[in-house]
Structure formats: C-alpha cells, structure tokens
Structure 1
C-alpha cells in the first residue's frame, strides 16, 4: 500500500511523515521546504505500507516544479492523507475539494489545531 501525504506548503506534512515513519526530515517554517518527495515505511494492519511525503501544492493544476512533482505522485498512491492547516481552512480546503472531485481515496488530517484556540475556532 502507498500512502501519499499531500497538502498546501507549510502545513506540517513532513512532521506527520516523521511521526508515521520515524524518519528524520528537514522541517522548517519556510514554504516549499520539501521540493522532492521522500519515502518511508510504517506498519498498517500488520503489513508494511510505504508513506510518501510529497511537495506542497495549492492545487492539482501545478504552477511550479514542486507542484508538478506532487500532482504526478498522485497517480502512484493508493490513498491520500490530505494534511490541512486548521488556521487557514478556506485556502487549504480548495485542494481537499479537488481531491474529492477526482474521487481519490482520502483521509483529511487537521493539523495545527492548537494554533486556533486564540481565534475562537
């Protein structure tokens, strides 16, 4: 099974990747830090699943090389974990909607929830 981690840049996909796989990756607060995909593995239902951390993308219509890599990887995954920034749902859910329209098997992971407490969400 191949699990893709997709989402907008700087939403914490690499942090989720590290937690799922135990692999160390470069994590920073700069948009576009992940420009190539990274692979790791995790156990799922007693079997080994491949987890792929793809570059951030705002849309399935790529406007740069990093987004092209992300969209190309979509064809290789069995399921997508769409990592969404809870502090900016409107922008992030645009990609979620596009994935739903393509009928991609999907799990939405709401990240940065703790950052919303001061906004009353």
Structure 2
C-alpha cells in the first residue's frame, strides 16, 4: 500500500514524513518548498508501506506546478491512503482540500498538525465530532515533538480497511 501526504504548503507535511519514516527531509518555513516529491518507507505493526511527501496544494483544481504534481500523484495512485495534513490552528483553510480528496473516494486520515499551537491559542476542536461529520479518522498531532504520530500510523491501517470494505 502507498500513502500520500497531502495538504497546503507550510502545514508540516515534511515534519510528519520525517516522524513516520525516520528520514531527515529539510523543512522550510515558506510556501511551495516541496515542488518535487520525496519517497520513504514506514513500518506499521510489522507491515511496510511506501509514503510520499506530495507537493503542497490548496485544491485539486491546479493553479501552479506544485498543485499539478499533487493532483497527478493522487490520480496515479487510486489505491493509496491519503493523509491530509491540516494546520490545526487554521483548520478551516485545510478542510477544503481534505473534503475534495474524501469526495473523490480515497481512504483518508486527517492529521491535525500543530495541535500544540491550536491549544496555545485556546482553539477548541472536537475531534470525535469532526470524525463523525467527515466519516474519516482524525488525529491530533504535533509532528515537531512526535506527539500523536504513533496513533496516526495506526489509523492509516484503519483507513485502508475502510476502503477495502467499501469495495
């Protein structure tokens, strides 16, 4: 199984990638850093999966080269699980892309990254209610510290099982 890390630029996709794979992809603090993509492997409960850090995209209607690459990668990997990485402190911005991916029928896990920042700003997010509304796993994570990464990895397998059951 293949895993695609998707999300807006500058939401911490590369940090999540690094935590899941143990790799050291350079993380930058400005949009559009990853125009190419990076591949790695992640082990989840004894199983090995390929994971791809996809270029940042705001939507599945491409307006620049990075978005074109992201859309192409999604279209070429119809059986992949998409981890939609969203900045938890600006959640409404990231939900549009996540909803587009969900509506296309991909198995999705939402990683609410920068959870610590959202908490510091007293932003309250009912994760269970969000899961119920979106019908996909939602996991709060702080990739920089590693908080929530193990649960995220375990929920990837859950999302892949949902896809199989729907077929």
Q: TM-score range by the shorter chain?
A: over 0.9
Greater relative CO (CA pairs within 8 A, separation 6+): 1
Show the counterpart of 1:60. 60
2: CA distance, partners of 1:9 / 1:47? 29
CA RMSD of aligned residues (A): 1.1
Q: Does 1:11 align with 2:22?
A: no
Q: CA deviation at 1:45?
A: 3.5
TM-score, normalised to structure 1, is 0.95
Structure having the higher helix fraction is 2
5 Å-filtered alignment, 1:63-74, equals: 63-74=63-74
Runs of 4+ deviating beyond 6 Å: none
Structure having the higher strand fraction is 1
Show the counterpart of 2:140. none
Q: CA deviation at 1:47?
A: 2.2
Please say which of residues 7-16 and 77-86 is displaced more in the overlay.
77-86
Alignment size in residue pairs: 121
Structure 2 residues not aligned, in runs of 5+: 124-167
Q: Does 1:93 align with 2:95?
A: yes
Show the counterpart of 1:106. 108
